[in-house]
A = this chain, B = another copy of it.
């Protein structure tokens, strides 16, 4: 099969030296890629420069992205030619618009005017005691996938932090319905450390549990290859 995997975390630039980063090592995405490669599948891995990646392999193509706009441009044509996508990347949900000192913001009559401004300096000055950063929502990549290719098998990811299992399931299944995903891998950062990675692979009515990254990769592999 032709499998598309995203992993790592995007960074949205504030200026040339600073950015807002979604923390993600890429370890899980790399392990999922390796699992498919070991069984002879073709894998395209879309990830970041910093992320953990599998070793070179004749059936592996690695594509590097940095921010959400790059990711969207790169994914659209790829999604149209692949059979399944495992979208494990931690995608930035907000992107910087404008950063300025607090005094300027306090003096402004209309704060929405800052939404049309752009920093012209390549490195924002650091004289003021307080700064204010305006951010706008980024495009939700996962919501485009089934529009780009209705036939692709879509496995989305939902990471929350320290929530009850019921809330995790509820929010993950909202994402499943909204994005027409076939599965959502639901996990909680409070249950992830160097040894364990507790997660549930959810459909509307079923939940498959995994306790570490290897089990997650195996679970996803089985669901993808047995899907009709």
A→B interface (CB under 8 Å): 11, 14-23, 50, 90, 92-94, 97, 102, 105-106, 111-112, 115, 121-123, 126, 128-137, 159-162, 189
Cβ-defined contact, B20 with A18, below 8 A:
yes
Residue ID in chain B nearest A134 by CB atoms: B132
Task: Kindly list the 8 A-B residue pairs having the minimum CB-CB distance in the complex, ordered from nearest.
Answer: A122-B161, A93-B126, A133-B133, A123-B161, A21-B21, A131-B135, A16-B161, A129-B137
- CB-defined contacts of A20 to chain B, threshold 8 Å: 14, 18-21
Residue of B nearest to A93 (CB): B126
Given that A18-B23, A90-B17, A102-B112 are contacting pairs, would A134 and B123 also be in contact in the complex, using a CB cutoff of 8 Å? no
Residues of B within 8 A of A16 (CB): 161, 189
Min Cβ gap A107→B in Å is 10
Contact in complex: B126, A134 (CB < 8 Å): no
- Selected from B21, B112, B126, the residue in CB contact (under 8 A) with A18 is B21
Q: How far is the CB of A220 from chain B (nearest CB, A)?
A: 21
Let me know if B126 and A135 touch, CB within 8 A. Answer: no
Residue among A90, A92, A112, A131 facing the most chain B CB atoms (10 A cut-off): A131
User: In the complex, which of the residues B11, B97, B111 contacts A105, with contact meaning CB atoms closer than 8 Å?
Assistant: B111
- Tell me whether A17 and B189 are in contact (CB under 8 A): yes
The verdict on A126 contacting B162 (CB below 8 Å), with A22-B17, A135-B131 known, is no
A126, closest chain B residue (CB): B93
